[in-house]
A and B are shown apart, each in its own frame.
Chain A
Amino acid sequence: MEALVAIAIGAMTASGVYLMLRLRTFPVVLGLSMLTYAVNVFIFASGRLVAGAPPILGAAPTMTDPLPQALVLTAIVISFGMTALTVILALGSYLNAGTDQIDIERPGEQPDADN
């Protein structure tokens, strides 16, 4: 099971990084979301995987580590705030500039042939 979770984390990280390297704002926002999943699960997994042992007193004979869960809970909510802010920035730059490209060319500079 641990292997599956690790592979899932790796896959979501790879997808998130790839999308964040794209040249338009929307894929970057998607990449950020994907990376958020990966990071949250990663932090959560640092408490190790335990099934059927919720961190509630008296609910089960054993209990998993509650601290990573507390950290991840706020991380999920904060990352919503971050995603929302990024989306608004993306929208604002698109509406202001008329393009949702993210790599800026300096005035008078030839566009990078590699892009």
Chain B
Amino acid sequence: MSLALIAALPFLGALLPGLLIRSGRNTCASVTFATTGLAFIGLMLHAPAVIGAGGVVTEGYEWLPQLGLNVNFMLDGLGFLFATMILGIGLLIILYARFYLSKTDPMGNFYTYLLLFQGAMVGIVLSDNILLLLIFWELTSLSSFLLIGYWKHLPEGRQGARMALTVTGMGGLAMIGGMLILGQIAGSYDLHVILEQKDLIQSSEYYLPALLLILLGAFTKSAQFPFHFWLPHAMAAPTPVSAYLHSATMVKAGLFLMARLWPVLSGTPEWFWIVGGAGLITMVLGAVIALFKDDLKALLAFSTVSHLGLITLLLGLGTEYAAAAAVFHIINHATFKAALFMTAGIVDHEAHTRNIRLLGGLRKLMPVTFTIGTIAALSMAGIPFFNGFLSKEMMLEATHDAGTWFGVVATIGAIFSVAYSFRFIFHTFMGKVRDDYPHHPHDPGFGLWISPAVLCVLVLAIGLFPDQTVGHFVDTVASAVTGTDVHVHLALWHGVTPALIMSGIAVAVGIVLLSFQRGLAPLWDRAPRPEAKAIFDAVVNNAAKGAISLTDALHDGAISRYLGILTAVIVAYAGWAFWGGEFTPGTRAMLPVGPVELVFFAILMVAVAGVTLLHRMRFLSLIVISICGLVVSMTFVQFSAPDLALTQLTVEVVTVILLLLALNYLPKETPVESRPARRVRDGVIALAAGGGVGALAFAILTRDMSLPTISDYHVANSYTGGGGNNVVNVILVDFRGFDTMGEIAVLGIAGLVIYALVEVMLHGPASRRLQNWVPEMAQARDRHPLMMVVATRLALPIALTVGVYIFLRGHNEPGGGFIAGLVVAIALLMQYMASGFAWTQARQKVAYHGLISAGVLIAVFTGIASVILGWNFLTSTSDYVQIWPLDRIHLASAASFDLGVFLTVVGAVMLALASLSRIGVRAGEGINLTPMDVDPRAESQPKNPEET
């Protein structure tokens, strides 16, 4: 089966349980099982090639080759081991969870989360590209968050999930940095390339930063000291999750990564001390804490921390033998720890408590569970004939070889490990049967105990016949980890070695230590020590407080303050840039100033000053500001921009109408609120900004262009390529048609947003305020005067004709879709103004929304048509056509695009203004059904226009 498919199957399958939960819990569990099973079978099909022949299966697709990010997969021994654990133990967990979860737990969600997590894990171990690996790595953090917080109603579950996400997520961020550095050093992000660059990487000056960052990711994920604290809090998850995440998958991801990069990162003193040291500390610390935990799952959680430390230590030692031991212990730990978690889950499920102090004597009540739990716990303790013994022996031997002190500390860890393992057996199952269990326990059904039982069979099989069962497998995986051929002889009996003696000491002292556990526990509880959760919470709270106070200080809700600061900063930067450079005056010849220009300049200056000084009188300032708009259009006329002048003029009209409509419902005057000092301050900011922009404009205007303009290309190809003489229009609809398409889309969206906002306004408090609205100013008695109605009716066909004319000639002379759209919109607006909203709206056949979408669609289809014809998107062509009775005209296919522009502009402008008019109706304006208030045909007195 394709590797990509194996990685994708869980993700695809994740859709099923969520959807199929309505068909029942069995269906839900079955499809999950089938999905995982299929992936598992697909994986096993590669076994002969990968394990049998020791080969590597690769597969790759390009994704973003420019970034070095490719979907490359690789399956070697190491990947095969992890994928087998993830999918194999996954199958057992799926079965177990079916019977573990209660009827009230949403099982569909559970299996969906589980499959997402599974897919992410499989992705990590099959990735050949470290960027791809990072993506899957982050996905495991996210999906494990969902799993750990599965019981959303429990605060511990939510807190545990948050803590796990924070710690592993931050580690993941560090790892991204490390991986990027590693890829830069190696010159490739593909693992198989990186793995061959040991000398290059270790001699690089960036080796240490890369190592530290990558180890941050691995240590947080694998709960190594000092990041071990999140793992016990993740125990608030349902037991199947704990069994899965903390035996075979999530916490093993960090180990996987260290094993994967072992060939290029290990062997240096830095690696030895950091990885070996963290592993050793974690191993002993976890074992000691585990002995004093009364919660079965907490005991197992700290034991997991300890065993992860053990494996990290082995990887840190940097010898081939230790790496092989690490591989072997990964297998063994996964088998016995998953079984133990499931046992703890069964006890919890049946006795309704996991507190060791409330348990004891379950041996007689739950014989099956007792057998399973004991086999697994003896393996954890490292007792002969169980698989844990073999790898622990190898660990002791490896530490013994590494140095006396390593050996001594490792033995201490082993002592505690024996003690807590026996405590798990003795204090839970042995002793007298009690009569005060929260719930009377008995063995569960087959469905719950079969999964751990299968694992126990593995524990025994590997423990008794290690070389026959997994000998070759361990050799293959260890060879894949180290990159050299490794042959380890796995056997129960190696003779009386130092490791055997250390092991014997550990068992003997461990059992003695356990007998003192009850006495030591109160001392342990009273001993002062840092409480990880309290520290974590304090750090998080202080970070949140700091963020809030920083945000509040910068962002106090006063928009005028932000704008002021923003402007001042920009001006300051510009000033700094100016005084940092060398200034020479411009040399471009200036145009002479004629009297007309001077007059217009004076008008503009007066208008600008007027608006600024009289802005409190809103109507007046609105009229005055439109003078500025007119002078701007005159500027465009003067300086050879007829298209711009037309556009500015028409937009000016529409804008003023819009502002007038809005002002009708706003206060008509602005009160004096700011102190004179503040106004002076704002004035200084404004003058600085204006002076700066003006000076910049002058500097540009008095210089020639320093680079050749790209316009030469546009001018040269306007007719031959775009089929038009009006270069501006050809640029809009042809050369930069893509831009224009985006712009009309934005305009259309603005129209629709305005419509939606008004829709919201017509409900809620705004609507009530409108209904009680009283006009502040006297209203005209004759709102729809005869003269205006007649004039606009006459003007309508003329204006429409002008619009069509401007549209058609736009490609060759000033005009085009934008201007034509505005002209037509104004013509239609005049009808609204003359005869009122209701009358006009009743005669409007096409919804403006429809115009907008038609316009955008026409523009898009014009582009697609070019693609269908085999050209690039929006390529245009032109030809002379003759449509009777018209003259022969030069028509470009871009005209169809321009039609889209035209329709969108009409639709958006009309929708914006018509929406505003709807407010008026809500505010109690008269709804007129006749075109005029006064009907000239009626001889009698005028009727009341407010009739409805």
Measured CB to CB, the residues of A under 8 A from B are 1-15, 17-27, 29-30, 33-34, 37-38, 40-42, 44-46, 48-60, 63-67, 69-70, 72-74, 76-85, 87-92, 94-96, 98, 100, 102-106, 112, 114-115
With known contacts A25-B666, A41-B635, A67-B731, A102–B686 Cβ distance under 8 A: no
B736 in contact with A70 (CB, 8 Å): yes
Interface residues of B in 851-870 (CB under 8 A from A): none
With known contacts A11-B690, A21-B686, A92-B761, A81–B750 Cβ distance under 8 A: yes
Chain B residue contacts of A34, Cβ below 8 A: 608, 611, 625, 628
B694 in contact with A64 (CB, 8 Å): no
Interface residues of B in 614-650 (CB under 8 A from A): 615, 618, 621-622, 625, 628-629, 631-632, 635-636, 638-644, 647-648
Chain B residue contacts of A82, Cβ below 8 A: 750
A65 in contact with B711 (CB, 8 Å): yes
Chain B residue contacts of A88, Cβ below 8 A: 662, 754, 757-758, 912, 915-916
Interface residues of B in 511-561 (CB under 8 A from A): 556-561
Chain B residue contacts of A96, Cβ below 8 A: 761, 764-766, 769
| Top-9 shortest CB links A-B | A10-B694, A14-B690, A6-B698, A81-B750, A95-B766, A18-B686, A1-B591, A104-B557, A66-B727
Chain B residue contacts of A13, Cβ below 8 A: 686, 689-690, 693-694
For the complex, is B163 an interface residue (Cβ under 8 Å from A)?
Answer: no
A57 in contact with B753 (CB, 8 Å): no
Chain B's closest residue to A74 (CB) is: B743
B756 → A minimal CB distance (Å): 10
A103 in contact with B691 (CB, 8 Å): no
B666 in contact with A90 (CB, 8 Å): yes
Chain A residue contacts of B625, Cβ below 8 A: 30, 33-34
A48 → B minimal CB distance (Å): 6
For the complex, is B746 an interface residue (Cβ under 8 Å from A)?
Answer: yes
B647 in contact with A56 (CB, 8 Å): no
A9 in contact with B666 (CB, 8 Å): no
Q: Give the A-B contact count at a CB cut-off of 8 A.
A: 323
For the complex, is B141 an interface residue (Cβ under 8 Å from A)?
Answer: no
- Between A and B, 20 residue pairs with Cβ closer than 8 Å are A3-B698, A4-B598, A10-B694, A23-B673, A26-B670, A27-B621, A30-B622, A37-B632, A44-B636, A55-B728, A56-B813, A57-B727, A58-B725, A64-B639, A66-B727, A73-B818, A76-B647, A77-B647, A81-B751, A103-B561
Known: A2-B591, A14-B612. 5 other contacts (CB 8 A): A10-B691, A19-B615, A46-B700, A83-B658, A98-B769
B899 → A minimal CB distance (Å): 16
B454 → A minimal CB distance (Å): 61
Q: How far is the CA of A114 from the CA of B658 in the complex (A)?
A: 33
B747 in contact with A6 (CB, 8 Å): no
Q: How far is the CA of A99 from the CA of B919 in the complex (A)?
A: 17
Chain A's closest residue to B658 (CB) is: A84
With known contacts A18-B612, A72-B644, A91–B747 Cβ distance under 8 A: no
For the complex, is B682 an interface residue (Cβ under 8 Å from A)?
Answer: yes
Chain A residue contacts of B915, Cβ below 8 A: 88
For the complex, is B590 an interface residue (Cβ under 8 Å from A)?
Answer: yes
With known contacts A52-B640, A77-B905, A98-B769, A103–B559 Cβ distance under 8 A: yes
Which candidate, B287-295, B339-347, B442-450, B713-721, is the interface stretch facing chain A?
A: B713-721
For the complex, is B498 an interface residue (Cβ under 8 Å from A)?
Answer: no
Chain B's closest residue to A23 (CB) is: B673
Within 8 Å by CB of A8, from B604, B682, B685, B753, lies: B604
B682 in contact with A18 (CB, 8 Å): yes
Q: How far is the CA of A88 from the CA of B762 in the complex (A)?
A: 12
Chain A residue contacts of B691, Cβ below 8 A: 10, 14
For the complex, is B909 an interface residue (Cβ under 8 Å from A)?
Answer: yes
Q: How far is the CA of A62 from the CA of B488 in the complex (A)?
A: 87
Q: How far is the CA of A49 from the CA of B700 in the complex (A)?
A: 10
Chain A residue contacts of B760, Cβ below 8 A: 92
Within 8 Å by CB of A74, from B609, B739, B812, lies: B739
Chain A residue contacts of B666, Cβ below 8 A: 25-26, 90-91, 94, 100
Interface centre among B588, B665, B698, B739 (most CB of A within 10 A): B698
Q: Is the interface of B mostly helix, strand, loop or mixed?
A: helix
Q: How far is the CA of A5 from the CA of B732 in the complex (A)?
A: 26
A102 in contact with B559 (CB, 8 Å): yes
Chain A residue contacts of B747, Cβ below 8 A: 77-78, 81
B424 → A minimal CB distance (Å): 55
Within 8 Å by CB of A10, from B558, B588, B601, B695, lies: B695
Task: Produce 1/0 per residue, B546-578, CB < 8 A to A.
Answer: 000000000011111101100100000000000
Chain A residue contacts of B628, Cβ below 8 A: 12, 34, 37
Within 8 Å by CB of B612, from A15, A51, A66, lies: A15
B506 → A minimal CB distance (Å): 62
Count chain B residues whose beta carbon lies closer than 8 angstroms to a beta carbon of A: 123
Within 8 Å by CB of A102, from B560, B621, B643, B727, lies: B560
Q: How far is the CA of A85 from the CA of B662 in the complex (A)?
A: 11
Q: How far is the CA of A4 from the CA of B662 in the complex (A)?
A: 34
Chain A residue contacts of B782, Cβ below 8 A: none
For the complex, is B675 an interface residue (Cβ under 8 Å from A)?
Answer: yes
Chain B residue contacts of A81, Cβ below 8 A: 746-747, 750-751, 908, 912
Q: How far is the CA of A37 from the CA of B690 in the complex (A)?
A: 13
Chain B residue contacts of A106, Cβ below 8 A: 556-557
With known contacts A1-B590, A34-B628, A84-B754, A19–B693 Cβ distance under 8 A: no
With known contacts A54-B814, A85-B750, A87-B662, A7–B591 Cβ distance under 8 A: no
B632 in contact with A40 (CB, 8 Å): yes
B665 in contact with A91 (CB, 8 Å): yes
For the complex, is B697 an interface residue (Cβ under 8 Å from A)?
Answer: yes
For the complex, is B872 an interface residue (Cβ under 8 Å from A)?
Answer: no
Chain A residue contacts of B601, Cβ below 8 A: 4, 7-8
Q: How far is the CA of A100 from the CA of B647 in the complex (A)?
A: 31
A3 → B minimal CB distance (Å): 6
Within 8 Å by CB of A70, from B694, B704, B732, lies: B732
Interface centre among A53, A85, A87 (most CB of B within 10 A): A87
A10 in contact with B697 (CB, 8 Å): yes
B573 → A minimal CB distance (Å): 16
For the complex, is B706 an interface residue (Cβ under 8 Å from A)?
Answer: no
B859 → A minimal CB distance (Å): 13
A54 in contact with B662 (CB, 8 Å): no
A4 → B minimal CB distance (Å): 5
Q: How far is the CA of A113 from the CA of B41 in the complex (A)?
A: 73
With known contacts A23-B673, A77-B905, A95-B769, A112–B662 Cβ distance under 8 A: no
Q: How far is the CA of A30 from the CA of B675 in the complex (A)?
A: 21
A80 in contact with B615 (CB, 8 Å): no
A10 in contact with B690 (CB, 8 Å): yes
Interface centre among B625, B651, B727 (most CB of A within 10 A): B727
A20 in contact with B727 (CB, 8 Å): no
B910 → A minimal CB distance (Å): 11
For the complex, is B944 an interface residue (Cβ under 8 Å from A)?
Answer: no
A49 in contact with B701 (CB, 8 Å): yes
Interface centre among B659, B693, B740, B909 (most CB of A within 10 A): B693
A44 → B minimal CB distance (Å): 7
With known contacts A55-B728, A56-B727, A88-B757, A14–B686 Cβ distance under 8 A: yes
Q: How far is the CA of A80 from the CA of B99 in the complex (A)?
A: 64
Q: How far is the CA of A25 from the CA of B665 in the complex (A)?
A: 13
A56 in contact with B726 (CB, 8 Å): yes
Q: How far is the CA of A80 from the CA of B360 in the complex (A)?
A: 79
A14 in contact with B743 (CB, 8 Å): no
For the complex, is B687 an interface residue (Cβ under 8 Å from A)?
Answer: yes
Q: How far is the CA of A8 from the CA of B601 in the complex (A)?
A: 7
Chain A's closest residue to B668 (CB) is: A26
Chain B residue contacts of A41, Cβ below 8 A: 632, 635
A54 in contact with B647 (CB, 8 Å): no
A57 → B minimal CB distance (Å): 4
Within 8 Å by CB of B648, from A38, A48, A67, A76, lies: A76
A51 in contact with B662 (CB, 8 Å): no
Chain A residue contacts of B639, Cβ below 8 A: 44, 49-51, 64
With known contacts A45-B700, A56-B727, A98-B769, A92–B757 Cβ distance under 8 A: yes
